[in-house]
Amino acid sequence: MKLNARRIEDLDLKNRRVLVRVDFNCPQDDSGRLTDDTRIRAALPTIREILARGGRPVLMSHLGRPKGKVVESMRLAPMGARLAELLGVQVLALKDCIGTEVRAQIDHAPAGSVVLLENVRFHAGDEAGDAAFAKALAANGELFINDAFGAAHRDHASVCGVARELPAAAGRLMEKEIAAFSRVLDNPARPLVAILGGAKVSDKLQVVDNLLDKVDALLVGGGMAYTVLAARGVSTGKSLVQADQLASVQAALEKAKQRKVEVLLPLDHVCAANFAESEAPVAVDGEAIPAHLMGLDIGPKTRQRYAACIGGAKTVVWNGPMGVFEWPAFRGGTEAIGRAVAGCAGYTVIGGGDSVAAIELLGLADKVKHISTGGGASLELLEGTLLPGIAVLAKS
């Protein structure tokens, strides 16, 4: 997968309004305070480059799911304030993202400042991919740069529609994300090891099918592991099992056998009598889980075996936790995998949600070669899907 699109250096930015799709969908606490500014930091190289080349950055992003209505708690002003701190320049957070008043504010913004449009999802036309809304957004700029990898799997007006209206290019974060996944999927150093976790195997079957043509070993954990174990005839007790997926999993296991891909499954477990954080963890030494227990994490033998496999890899990609990571008693497996990935000398990529949270909790994020900013987007890339937000840049 190569990025067949314009790059920032291909555009003449001087004195031009440069509309930039960023992903400032950052988590906040109940008081509205930002709890993680990773996505804002990830956009800094592109914004700084536009400013350095004399361009006038006009940023747009979504936040949450306001469903086409103004929701006060989903305004982008807190992101604008944090961006101003990080950039050291004035950031004007506007109250809307389209219209003559917005355009006037953009035109009168001080030289060297950044304009941040209001949440594009306050208008239903964004998620609907409405062409008229895309034209209204495009009126805010003369050029378009897409740096929102986390939204690249959505054919939304602010992602794809604007790229059809203006000369478009990929931002530095977009380039970085594509380069990382290309290195994993197209021509990886071997052995290539994929680690998949999460609750439901149905969410990852397309990923499994695509990766079985590419990887040397597949390590499975989380709730999805119990459906795979059940498909192999192993007793799983009260664990989460998607019975309607057993035939599909059996077909995947057969494909792995034909491709000579080693599929590693839990050898032991950390279980509980019920699905509750207050439950006491129960160690189960063996594949089979007793009828009165449910698996909530991989056990110590599994952690050791998986870590050894990861340690010998030249390329590693990890998506999904090994257990109920939110509960400390069932976090050990995910932490062990995080430490193994951080300690791997090969090229390591982490994509998505709890995997990223785990590596950051351990303070080991700087030990991983690439941490993706897009959970859903990275998952679809692993499925072998060409993301619409990338495809439209190639056509631009």
What is the distance between the alpha carbons of residues 7 and 160, in angstroms, rounded to a whole number?
16
Q: Strands 114-116, 56-60: parallel, antiparallel or unpaired by DSSP?
A: parallel
Residue type, 111: A
What residues contact residue 107 under an 8 Å CB cut-off, 6+ apart? Answer: none
CB 65 within 8 A of CB 121: yes
Burial class (CB in 10 A: 0-12, 13-18, 19+), 276: exposed
Residue 353 annotated among the catalytic residues of the structure: yes
* Token pair of 128 as six digits: 């609907």
Cα within 13 Å of Cα(187), Cβ side: 3
Residue 75 annotated among the catalytic residues of the structure: no
Candidate list 286, 311, 353, 384, residue with the active-site label: 353
User: Largest Cα–Cα distance of the chain, in whole Å?
Assistant: 69
Candidate list 16, 41, 48, 200, residue with the active-site label: 200
Which DSSP string do the residues of 223-292 spell out, in sequence order?
THHHHHHHHTT--BTTS---GGGHHHHHHHHHHHHHHT-EEE--SSEEEESSS-TTSPPEEE-SS-B-TT
Task: Identify the helix (H) or strand (E) that includes residue 59.
Answer: strand 56-60
Residue with tokens 């990886």: 188
Burial 101-127 (b: 16+ CB within 10 A, else e): ebeebbeebeeeebbbbbbbbbbebbb
Candidate list 6, 17, 21, 39, residue with the active-site label: 39
Residue 376 annotated among the catalytic residues of the structure: yes
From the CB of residue 252, how many other CB atoms can be counted at a distance below 10 Å?
A: 22
β-partners of residue 317 are 194, 349
Measuring CA to CA, how many Å separate 185 from each of 106, 147, 182, 219, 333? 41, 21, 5, 17, 26
CB 102 within 8 A of CB 140: yes
Candidate list 311, 312, 376, 384, residue with the active-site label: 376
Residue 332 annotated among the catalytic residues of the structure: no
Which DSSP string do the residues of 176-216 spell out, in sequence order?
HHHHHHHHHHTS--SSEEEEE-SS-GGGTHHHHHHHTTT-S
Q: Which residues are catalytic?
A: 39, 200, 353, 376
